[in-house]
Amino acid sequence: MKASRETKRLFVGGLGQNVSEVDLQNQFSRFGEVSDVEIITRKDDQGNPQKVFAYINIRVAETDLKKCMSVLNKTKWKGGTLQIQLAKENFLQRLAQEREEAKAKKEKSTIGNTNLLEKMGVVDFHMKAVPGTEVPGHKNWVVSKFGRVLPVLHLKNQHKRKIIKYDPSKYCHNLKKIGEDFTSAIPISSLTWELEGGNDPMSKKRQGKFSDFHCPPSKIIKVQEDESPSASLAMRSRHHRVIMKNPHLTLQQTAQEICKDPITPKSPHVPDSDSQKLKRNKNSLSDDDTELEDGLRLMIAREENFGRTSCSSVNESENEPFEVVRNYFKSNVQKHCSLTDSGIKNNVSHLDSEGNVVSNNCDYDSVDTDDVAMKKVSKIKNNREFSQMEKSLYKKTSLKHRKNCELSDHCIKVQKRKNNIQLAVNNRVKHLSCKCLSKSISSEDADCVSESANSEEDEYNAMMKNSLHVTFTLADLGQLAGSDLKAPKEDTKSDGLETTSKSDRASENHRTSGSLHRSKQCIYPEEIVASLLEGEENTPGKQKSNKNNLKLKFQSFKGIGCLYGKEFVKKSMKENVASGDTSKNQNSLKLQDLTSMSMENIPSGKLTPFQCAKKADDPNYIQPQKRQFVFKSQNYKVVSPSSSDKGSRIPSCSLLTLKDKKYVSLGAETPRKGFEEDCCHRSTKTGKVSEKGPDLSSHVVPEKSPEVSSRMDTQGSETDFPLSVESSSDVNAKDKQAEDNQKRLAALEARKKAKEVQKKLVHNALANLDGHPEDKPTHIIFGSDSESETEKISTQEQSCLIEKPVKEFLNRASGKLFDSDEKEYDSEDDSSRFKIKPQFEGRAGKKLMDLQSHFGTDDRFRMDSRFLESDTEEEQEEVNEKKTTEEEELATEKLKALNIVQSILRINLSNSTSKGSVAAKRFKDIIHYDPTRHDHATYEKKRDDNQPKESKAKRKKKREEAEKLPVVSKEMYYNIAMDLKEIFQATKDTNEKEGVPWNEDCDGEKAKEVHDPAALKAGAKQPSGFTFSFFDSDTKNIKEETYKVETVKPGKNSWQGASFFEDSSSEEEDVAEETNDIKPRLGEISLPEKETTRFFFFSKNDERLHGECIF
Amino acid sequence: MRPLTEEETRVMFEKIAKYIGENLQLLIDRPDGTYCFRLHNDRVYYVSEKILKLAANISGDKLVSLGTCFGKFTKTHKFRLHVTALDYLAPYAKYKVWVKPGAEQSFLYGNHVLKSGLGRITENTSQYQGVVVYSMADIPLGFGVAAKSTQDCRKVDPMAIVVFHQADIGEYVRHEETLT
């Protein structure tokens, strides 16, 4: 029963007025639980209750309800007949119910869905959970940052046992977290570039990398194996390794990192013998390691192909994978640096992660290759993230490294040297490139190089060997500077890679020789730093050619290197900042930086044994050199301010000083010396190249007889100028170069003298310039300028730059203008001097030329063909005069015909045509009216018929004028001037005068023409303060002015005078007629004008105005 | 070969003026030299002075032609324009008629131009006005006389003659012997 009870709402109508709720409740409680009673009373207008009814919520069973209905319905109760009906539920309740229902529905549906999904075995991906919560029922699935359920990755490194857990909930973005500096500058272009990236050849092509794939497909697959299986993850893991293992090694502390690494206990590890090393290498290398190496090699080969395609200048052996690297480096310096940096990092990681055995074997070289490979991988593959990461890392690190790390500097230098080398001869190029290659790879073995040389370039064997030495030394130095551990390892590693018996021997030899070399070759600028440290230790190292010694050396180097590295970092940083101009000439600037750094380091750090390493033979020598160097550095400092000054030259300026100057200037970034810089660089480069030749030759020698000094000099010259200078200063070394330098110095001195003489000349010229305004200075300057030019060429060769400022000064002063003029003249004269200009061709042209010859070459007075119009008329007249009787007959005939035509057409042909038919009849199809032409005056409508005769007379005059033109005499002119004065005296107002003839004269254009020259005159007079506007306002003054001018240059302006004459004569007539009108107006209008203009344009004492006042 | 009499000149000019109007004087009064009309064998030639001098060396009975023949005088002393004058008159023509490509050939065979073949016509062309007939490519084809004014041309049926044929360049082929 109870179960079936339901809440019902009953309507109870017909209640009595006095029924209360309680009554109702009591009444209905018999049948069920009454929960709510609501009595409603309906009242009429007067307030008398009409109806009373109630709603009862009752919880009742069905049977009870029926019973209730049957019992109570239509029964009389308390004065009313009850009507009981089932009512609808209360709307509130209904609303609530509906809501509930809807909610229930929803829940139902969702529940159903989830059920479905669960049935299908799918996890609910829309979990509302805090990131990081594990998905219930699914192991290793976690709600990630953005609400997605992602799996937790367990990454295992290839070389390590350690498994890294990658929890997606901890990284809001995968790239971001792993990449560390995702924000650091990645150019957008590269980003998009990478986005396209695919491993397949098509995508590569799309990226613009066209590679002819020489690699066999299997190898490619191998590489892909290395790369593709979550290559990004692998790389990431590797980086992680780096980061995690060396927590103290942040990217920014890489420099320190380098320093610390050598200190770490793993490093002091020296191979006993090459063969042992080899074996160990082979044994120690784990399988995956070897695989990795193979893959790397393949990748390198591929890269090589890339580089070959990209770089057209590659001459190197193609099979050698490392050369590719070189190309790669060539292409972009930055990457190289970064690469080396990363290599260092990798080394660190290797050391940390791998066992001792592996660590022993891990070469600097190998690491580098690894890095290269990684880079390639990153580039080649789809892993944008990884590449970006790496790039960013590289960039960051490279920037810092460049400043901080010796290694990076070294790399830069190497690259620079490479560039220089490329300029050099092919052989040299190759040799050097080998060097560079080795350097860039940072410790490629001599063995490898030699192998490659043997296999491909038999011709260059000797050179290669030389190069090997060099490379080895360089590598050693670099290693010493960066991380000393790797030097021995390099050899071993390379050996392992090559797995050749030769390599052992070669390596041994190389080592022995290399040690010597190393000690000797400290001259390299990069090694200046190292050499400073080395100096002390090299001596023992040198004495012992054994490997054990080498080991010792290395160890000792480590410590020193660390110390040095710190020191160096600071200084290099400072200096780099100081010389901020890296953009312009990167190579030069870097060189400068390096040199400057080295130079400054020496005095500041007091690391005396600068070149001691090589001069270990004579330790005594070291000290003086040191002193010298210090002295030089001081000089350099002294010179720097002097160099900034234009004229000041240091009497003791030698090559060194010059170079120092140059450096200083460059460092100071005086922008106007950009040209100088270029010149300097060129010269220096040439010098380098030239010096390299001997260097090479010397290289061969040192193996047997370690001639330290020569090599030192040569190499110094190669890389660093100060070094070369030092070498030159070290005359004790009795080198060829020293002699050369001396010669050079002498030449320089001579040049300097010449320069000073020049300077004097220039000074004189300049002094004169102030005094003499016009011709003289230009001539003098011209002479001096030409001299300077001739000297410039010679000086450029010798790279003496002292003169340049002076030259520049000259140019600034006046030379440039003149130069440009010269050029113009040259171009014009040479090409068209003897050609007859088109406008002078023919008879008319001759005449025109005559005219022009009369009026000089001034543009303003140049006669052009317009002035020939009158002549054409004459010509035509002449032609007409020549007419024969026959022609006359024809003419008459024509005339007749025309008459007939007129009669036929019943039109009146114009007078001119009819009248002038006998004379020059011209084709007047469409007349283009030119107001400047005299003959076109006939086309003007003549408003004023008052003076037709006068116009005729004028026409005649015009002709006369045209004939007379060149022969007008001065006297006439002066007479006219007198006339004008009189006229002006009478009229005074110029504006009106100007206006009247203009309008009223039948030959309007004539007046205009007359005024034109005046206007020109005014223009010419502008320097003296007259303008066109002025001319407009006050013509009279201008005319006076023109007269004055003409008195100065009567010959030139005779024609103009003539025109004035004509004009004034015509004006005279006009004025005579109109003076009456003008006079009254004159006083009123002109006076105020004059006052204003006078104060504006003239001084009060102007003589012209005085004249007026008199009048 | 003799100059035209005044009467002849008048007749000829009247005729030519029908086509080129007042531009006629441009033919007589040329800027590039002296040109004149000469009568020879009842034909009127438009000759430059230079050629006139040259032709003076040839006896009259042997002289076939000189200069450019503009037309000939009929026995009744009317002037009939030849197509050879087309090159001189077409540039100055005042009223032009363009015939459609389909009607070109018909006209060049000596037929009149029907309205169906009329491609374009200068407005304000009056009836019996001399016109120069052009192809739609603006190549002068010959002379004609407007049979209807421009307004009338709009109303007439397509087969009505719009332009009477007078001379056409087909004559160079058809009347080769008489065109001298």
Interchain contact, A900 vs B10, CB within 8 Å: yes
Interchain contact, B29 vs A921, CB within 8 Å: yes
Interchain contact, A923 vs B31, CB within 8 Å: yes
**Position B110 in a domain:** yes
The confidence score (pLDDT) of residue B176 equals: 86
What angle is formed at CA B136 by the lines to CA B130 and CA B139, rounded to 5 degrees? 70
The confidence score (pLDDT) of residue A839 equals: 63
Amino acid at A835: K
Interchain contact, A901 vs B37, CB within 8 Å: no
Q: What is the third-level CATH fold of A1-88?
A: Alpha-Beta Plaits (3.30.70)
How far is the CA of A526 from the CAs of A412, A490, A593, in angstroms? Answer: 9, 19, 11
The confidence score (pLDDT) of residue A890 equals: 80
Q: What is the pLDDT of residues A352-391, one digit of tens each?
A: 444 443 334 434 444 444 444 444 444 444 444 444 444 4
* pLDDT(B168) > 70: yes
Domain holding B125, by residue range, is 95-175
Taking residues A319-329, report their average pLDDT. Answer: 35
Residue A283: exposure state from Cβ atoms within 10 A (0-12, 13-18, ≥19): exposed
Q: Does residue B148 contact residue B99 with C-beta atoms inside 8 Å?
A: no
Q: Which residue has the higher pLDDT, A1 or B8?
A: B8
The confidence score (pLDDT) of residue A204 equals: 64
Interchain contact, A917 vs B30, CB within 8 Å: no
Q: Tokens for A530? A: 């190292």
Q: Which residue has the higher pLDDT, A109 or A120?
A: A109
The confidence score (pLDDT) of residue A717 equals: 40
CB pairs under 8 A between A and B: 59
Which residues from chain A sit within 8 angstroms of residue B22, using beta carbons? Answer: 905, 907
The confidence score (pLDDT) of residue B143 equals: 92
In this structure, are B107 and B166 located in the same domain? yes
Taking residues A213-228, report their average pLDDT. Answer: 44
Q: Which residue has the higher pLDDT, A794 or B140?
A: B140
Q: What is the pLDDT of residues A203-218, one digit of tens each?
A: 666 656 555 554 444 4
Domain boundaries, chain A: 1-88, 122-174
Q: What is the pLDDT of residues B9-63, one digit of tens each?
A: 888 888 888 888 888 888 888 888 888 888 988 889 998 888 888 888 888 888 8
Lowest-confidence pick of A108-122, A182-196, A769-783:
A769-783
* A920: contact with B, CB 8 A cutoff: no
How far is the alpha carbon of A922 from chain B, nearest alpha carbon, in Å?
Answer: 5
The percentage of chain A sitting over the pLDDT mark of 90, rounded to a whole number, equals 0
The confidence score (pLDDT) of residue A926 equals: 64
* pLDDT(A33) > 80: yes
* pLDDT(B128) > 70: yes
CA distance A1054 to A1050: 6
* B157: contact with A, CB 8 A cutoff: no
Which residues from chain B sit within 8 angstroms of residue A890, using beta carbons? Answer: 34, 36, 49, 52
Interchain contact, B36 vs A909, CB within 8 Å: no
Interchain contact, B36 vs A893, CB within 8 Å: yes
* B156: contact with A, CB 8 A cutoff: no
Lowest-confidence pick of A551-565, A979-993, B39-53:
A551-565
Which residues from chain B sit within 8 angstroms of residue A923, using beta carbons? Answer: 26, 29-32
Which residues from chain A sit within 8 angstroms of residue B17, using beta carbons? Answer: 901, 904-905
Q: Residue B63 belongs to a domain with what CATH number?
A: 3.10.450.220
How far is the alpha carbon of A889 from chain B, nearest alpha carbon, in Å?
Answer: 11
In this structure, are B71 and B19 located in the same domain? yes
In the three-class reduction of DSSP (H, G, I as helix; E, B as strand; rest coil), residue B98 is classed as strand
* pLDDT(B118) > 80: yes
Lowest-confidence pick of A113-117, A319-323, A374-378, A691-695:
A319-323
Q: Which residue has the higher pLDDT, A687 or A763?
A: A763
Q: Which residue has the higher pLDDT, B170 or A557?
A: B170
B34 closest CB neighbour out of A887, A896, A913: A887
**Position B113 in a domain:** yes
In this structure, are B40 and B84 located in the same domain? yes
* pLDDT(A538) > 70: no
Taking residues B105-132, report their average pLDDT. Answer: 88
In this structure, are B6 and B82 located in the same domain? yes
* pLDDT(A408) > 60: no
* pLDDT(A461) > 50: no
* pLDDT(B149) > 80: yes
How far is the CA of A1083 from the CAs of A939, A985, A1075, A1077, A1093, in angstroms? Answer: 38, 12, 13, 12, 15
The confidence score (pLDDT) of residue A59 equals: 83
A898 closest CB neighbour out of B3, B28, B53: B28
**Position B180 in a domain:** no
Q: Residue B117 belongs to a domain with what CATH number?
A: 2.30.130.10
Taking residues A942-965, report their average pLDDT. Answer: 59
In the three-class reduction of DSSP (H, G, I as helix; E, B as strand; rest coil), residue A49 is classed as strand
Most confident of A361-365, A1003-1007, A1086-1090, B19-23: B19-23
Taking residues A478-484, report their average pLDDT. Answer: 48
In the three-class reduction of DSSP (H, G, I as helix; E, B as strand; rest coil), residue A22 is classed as helix
Taking residues A269-275, report their average pLDDT. Answer: 42
Listed in sequence order, the DSSP H helices in A424-460 are 426-441, 446-456
The confidence score (pLDDT) of residue A874 equals: 56
* A311: contact with B, CB 8 A cutoff: no
Mean pLDDT of chain A: 53
**Position B107 in a domain:** yes
* B50: contact with A, CB 8 A cutoff: no
Interface test with A, best of B6, B25, B39, B46 (most A CBs within 10 A): B25
CA distance A275 to A732: 43
Query: Within 10 A of A161 (CB to CB), how many other CB atoms are there?
Result: 7
* pLDDT(A66) > 80: yes
Distant-in-sequence, close-in-space partners of A684: CB < 8 Å, separation ≥ 6: A588, A659, A721, A799
How far is the alpha carbon of A908 from chain B, nearest alpha carbon, in Å?
Answer: 10
The confidence score (pLDDT) of residue A764 equals: 80
Q: What is the pLDDT of residues A809-862, one digit of tens each?
A: 444 444 444 444 444 444 445 555 565 666 666 777 777 777 766 665 666 666
How far is the alpha carbon of B162 from chain A, nearest alpha carbon, in Å?
Answer: 26
* pLDDT(A698) > 70: no
* pLDDT(A23) > 70: yes
Choosing from B65, B88, B111, the residue where a domain stops is B88
Burial letters A138-157, b for 16+ CB under 10 A, else e: eeebbbbeeeebbebeeeeb
Q: Which residue has the higher pLDDT, A991 or A763?
A: A763
Q: What is the pLDDT of residues A562-608, one digit of tens each?
A: 444 444 444 444 444 444 443 444 444 444 444 444 444 444 433 34
DSSP secondary structure of A298-341: HHHHHHHHHHHHH-TT--S-SS-HHHHHHHHHHH-HHHHHHHHH
* A890: contact with B, CB 8 A cutoff: yes
The gap from C-alpha B122 to its chain's centroid, in whole angstroms, comes to 17
CA distance A298 to A107: 60
**Position B148 in a domain:** yes
* A901: contact with B, CB 8 A cutoff: yes
In the three-class reduction of DSSP (H, G, I as helix; E, B as strand; rest coil), residue A968 is classed as coil
**Element holding A94 (H helix, E strand):** helix A91-120
Choosing from B88, B117, B145, the residue where a domain stops is B88
Confidence category of residue A548, pLDDT binned at 50, 70, 90: very low
In this structure, are B24 and B81 located in the same domain? yes
The confidence score (pLDDT) of residue B144 equals: 92
How far is the alpha carbon of B1 from chain A, nearest alpha carbon, in Å?
Answer: 14
Taking residues A526-551, report their average pLDDT. Answer: 43
Interchain contact, A891 vs B29, CB within 8 Å: no
The confidence score (pLDDT) of residue B28 equals: 83
How far is the alpha carbon of A1095 from chain B, nearest alpha carbon, in Å?
Answer: 58
Choosing from B88, B111, B135, the residue where a domain stops is B88
* B33: contact with A, CB 8 A cutoff: no
* B87: contact with A, CB 8 A cutoff: no
The confidence score (pLDDT) of residue A292 equals: 53
Q: Which residue has the higher pLDDT, A752 or A1031?
A: A752
* B22: contact with A, CB 8 A cutoff: yes
How far is the alpha carbon of B127 from chain A, nearest alpha carbon, in Å?
Answer: 18
Q: What is the pLDDT of residues A741-754, one digit of tens each?
A: 888 899 989 998 99
Q: Does residue A439 contact residue A432 with C-beta atoms inside 8 Å?
A: no
* pLDDT(A153) > 70: yes
Interface test with A, best of B4, B29, B45, B47 (most A CBs within 10 A): B29
In this structure, are B53 and B115 located in the same domain? no
Q: Does residue A458 contact residue A443 with C-beta atoms inside 8 Å?
A: no
Q: Domain total for chain B?
A: 2
Q: ipTM, 2 decimals?
A: 0.73
Taking residues A1021-1036, report their average pLDDT. Answer: 44
* pLDDT(A105) > 80: yes
Interface test with B, best of A893, A899, A903, A907 (most B CBs within 10 A): A893
* A155: contact with B, CB 8 A cutoff: no
Taking residues A439-468, report their average pLDDT. Answer: 43
In this structure, are B74 and B20 located in the same domain? yes
A898 closest CB neighbour out of B6, B29, B32: B29
* pLDDT(A1028) > 70: no
**Position B134 in a domain:** yes
pTM of the model: 0.27
In this structure, are B135 and B170 located in the same domain? yes
Which residues from chain A sit within 8 angstroms of residue B37, using beta carbons? Answer: 897
How far is the alpha carbon of B5 from chain A, nearest alpha carbon, in Å?
Answer: 10
The number of C-alpha atoms within 13 Å of A778 and in the hemisphere containing its C-beta is 10
In this structure, are B115 and B170 located in the same domain? yes
Interchain contact, A901 vs B32, CB within 8 Å: no
Interchain contact, B37 vs A891, CB within 8 Å: no
Q: Which residue has the higher pLDDT, B82 or A240?
A: B82
Q: Tokens for A847? A: 């005449």
How far is the alpha carbon of B160 from chain A, nearest alpha carbon, in Å?
Answer: 31
How far is the alpha carbon of B178 from chain A, nearest alpha carbon, in Å?
Answer: 27
In this structure, are B41 and B102 located in the same domain? no
Q: Does residue B63 contact residue B45 with C-beta atoms inside 8 Å?
A: no
The confidence score (pLDDT) of residue A167 equals: 77
